[in-house]
Structures are given as C-alpha cells and as structure tokens.
A = this chain, B = another copy of it.
Amino acid sequence: MDQLEKQVTEWAEENEGKAVRLLKRLIGEKSTYQKEFTAQAVVLEKLRQFDMAIDVWEPSVKQLKEHPYFISDREDFNESPNIVAVKKGAGGGRSLILNGHIDVVPEGNPAAWTYEPFLAVEKDGKIYGRGSTDMKGGNTALLFALEALDACGITLKGDVLFQSVVDEECGGAGTLSAVMRGYKADGALIPEPTNLKLFVKQQGSMWFRITVRGLSAHGGTRYEGVSAIEKSLHVITALKELENVRNARIKDPLYQDVPIPVPINIGTVHGGSWPSSVADRVTIEGRCGIAPNEKPEDVKEELTNWLKDLEYQDEWFKHHPVETEWFGAQWLPNDLKDGHPLISSLESSYEKIKEAKPVHEASPWGTDGGLLHHAGQTPVIVFGPGEVKAAHQANEYIEIRALIDAAKIISLFIMEWCGIAEGGEPADKGIEG
C-alpha cells in the first residue's frame, strides 16, 4: 500500500462507528416492495455530505414499458424513488458505477426472529435485521468507502456514479430506469453478499406462476370432485425432477462447490377457498435459475414443455393442462470475460487488505448486473460483505468486520480503477473527522 491507501484504510478503521450507525439507520427504515422512500431519505442525507450531483426520480412505468427487459406488472413507483449521485472526476480516468439495491424482501414469520427484524440489534460483532446482508450492508460499504475518500480529500480522475436503486428483488426496474436515464460507465461493482469472493459469473433467474385446475365439490363427498391440491403434488414433484435434470448438465468448475447451481425454488403455494370444499385451483409461484450461458427464452420453453408431459403420468392433465406464466421478475445472467481489468483491479485491492488471493466463484443467484451488462453495456463484477445464506431468512445478519473490510477493499479499488488526479493529495483538503 502506498501512503494514500494507508491513510484511507486507517481512516476507515478508526471510523468504523460511522459505518455501523449508517447501517443501523438503513435497516431501521423498512424498505420492502413499493415502500423504499424512507430508506432512500437516509441515503440522501449521507450523500449530501460528499459534494456530488444528486439525481432523485421516481421511475416512469410508461417509459420502462418501452424497454424489452421491463417485466414488472406494477403500476407506479410513487413511493419508490431511485437515486444516482455523480462525483465528476478530474478527467482521464475510467468511470465506475457503484450499484446497490435499497429494497428488501418481507421479513416472513416474525416469530422466527430472535431480534425484531427492523430494530438492527448489534450483538457479538454482528448486526441483525432484514436487509443487513441483502444488501444494506453492501450499500453501507459503498457509502463508507466514498466517505473515506472524501475524508482523505482524494480527487479521482474518472467519474464515480453511486446508485441506490429500487425494485431489485422484483426484477430490476430501478437499475433499468437508471440505464434508460443514460447512466453507463466503463465498469461497475455491485456489493451483493459474496462473502468477499469475486463473483465473475452470475446466474440469472425468472419468476413463474403455475395454475393447476381441479373440480370443486362438497368436502363431504369429495370423491365427486377432483382436488387441485392433490394434482399440485404431481406438479411440485415434476419441478424437482426438472431441477435435477437441469443441474446435472452444468460442468463449469466455478460451480463445483455449489450444491444446486441453478435451483428451481417453489416459493409460494395457494389453493382452495374453503376447508370443506374440494379445491378447484392451486397457484404455485417460484423462481427458476438461468445458467450464465443460457437464454431466458430457452429455459421458459423447457419448463413449459416439461409440465406438458404431466399428461403421460395422469390423464387429468391431458384435459386440464397446467397454465404456466412468467411474471414479475427476471434477472438476466451475467458473464465477465476472463482477464477483464475489473477482475485484476479488485484482486489487487483485495490482496492489499486481506494479504491473500481472493476466491473466484459463479453466483447461484441473479443480480442487477445482468441488466447493467446487457441493457447498459457496462461490464460488472459482484463483490460484497455478508453471506447469502443469511439473506431472505429470519435472523439475517452481517458481520461488522466483513463490512469494514469490504469498504476498505472497495475504496482502494475505486482509487485504482478511476485513478488519482494530480493535486488529489490528502494535504490539499485535510482530513475531516
């Protein structure tokens, strides 16, 4: 590390409390689907300290509908503003997008949580709460890295575009809207929870909705009807078999330690309207993974055809085939070329802080990286604190140590990628407390 890098990382180490406080405030603002605005207010308050050009807007559904990658069925973004803050560089450096989503998934069964999910309880070096890992921890690492550079008075050559986007958990309309507004860069980093590994490939995914039909009857003579609930068991079993077939195909060594590289997750099941009636309809919703080398259209066709074959197992499906829709969310897969400078810059920053080589992996889940890459022509690397096994779960947490390490690595990475401008020395501005 050179003198400047030392100064930045030391500042981060000494000011850890600032990062912890920011993360707690972000978790405290529950920012589930369509309700991200109060958490964005906390982001704005922090950004206003950094002398950046701030752009806040509510994405326009009308505009988004013109883009082929927009697949949401929401009607407006009234309480879901996007934020992009730009720090213009002195010139001559590479530009960088730092992208994190502010939306979180619902907390699920409250009784399963040890600590209240939006209270951000700190305990034994961890902070607990919905969104701590996915991905307010990563967002905090980005903001804390920017704060460290600002505090040390560093001027970069390239532009930095910080993005706090909505709607990632529902398919990326926030990032897509930023792309459509013209925000692109020479590279991007998304600090989703990779447990400080470099995720150079990301699995894509899509949401499906399967409707299974039955024939209603009084429960007391249930043999006069056909239970859509019983029929749905065949569908669930068939989806598990398809998952096996699809994953047996994947030979990429980056996935060798991942038990199910492209899972088919059955997330919700809803059927029937009355305890003593035979259910005439069951709706199954879930998420189907897309391998980095697959096209979404091919995967849709494969799943739809697979379920058509149910008619060979059970005559009922011949006359009442299941209906398959794709709705709500889609994350495109992403693939960063071997030897891309994003990889080498991040590796070098990682080694300076961790004194070891980083692990490369392919992520078993999608990110907004697919959109930045395919829609925004911006190469993307995914790297952040937190373990994905904590995400979307009760007792979601992040380790403070990992958050601070990530912030340090990211601050060095920003300096390396964008370059330091002449006169960007700390002495020019002094260190702010």
A residues whose Cβ falls under 8 Å from a Cβ of B: 105-106, 108-109, 112, 134, 169, 203, 205, 207-209, 215-225, 227, 229-230, 232-233, 236, 259-260, 263, 265-282, 285-287, 289, 328-329, 363-366, 388-389, 391-394
Contact = CB atoms under 8 A, between A and B. Distances in A.
A392 B263 contact: no
B393 A217 contact: yes
The 5 A-B pairs with the shortest beta carbon distances in the complex, nearest first, are A220-B365, A219-B265, A268-B272, A276-B287, A218-B392
Contacts of A287: 219-220, 275-276
B328 A392 contact: no
Contacts of A227: 266
A218 B207 CA distance: 14
A278 B260 contact: no
Copies of this chain in the oligomer: 2
A229 B276 contact: no
Residue of A276, A282, A287 ringed by the most chain B CB atoms within 10 A:
A276
Given A275-B287, A287-B276, A393-B225, A364 B220 contact: yes
B366 A220 contact: yes
A207 B272 CA distance: 14
A224 to B, nearest CB: 4
A277 B396 CA distance: 13
Contacts of A271: 268-270
Contact of A276 (B205, B215, B277, B393): B205
Contacts of A207: 275-276
Contact of A220 (B232, B263, B266): B263
A55 to B, nearest CB: 29
10 contacts: A109-B216, A169-B276, A205-B220, A218-B391, A223-B263, A225-B393, A265-B276, A266-B279, A269-B270, A276-B329
Contact of A270 (B270, B328, B365): B270
Given A216-B112, A266-B227, A221 B277 contact: no
Contact of A105 (B268, B277, B286, B364): B277
A392 B225 CA distance: 10
B269 A392 contact: no
A230 B260 CA distance: 16
Nearest to A112: B280
B282 A269 contact: yes
A365 B221 contact: yes
Contacts of A220: 203, 205, 263, 265, 287, 289, 363-366, 388
Contact of A229 (B203, B266, B275, B363): B266
Contacts of A282: 269
Given A233-B236, A282-B269, A366-B220, A392 B274 contact: yes
Contacts of A364: 220-221
A276 B227 CA distance: 26
Contact of A273 (B106, B209, B219): B106
Given A233-B236, A236-B233, A286-B275, A392 B267 contact: no
Contact of A389 (B219, B224, B269): B224
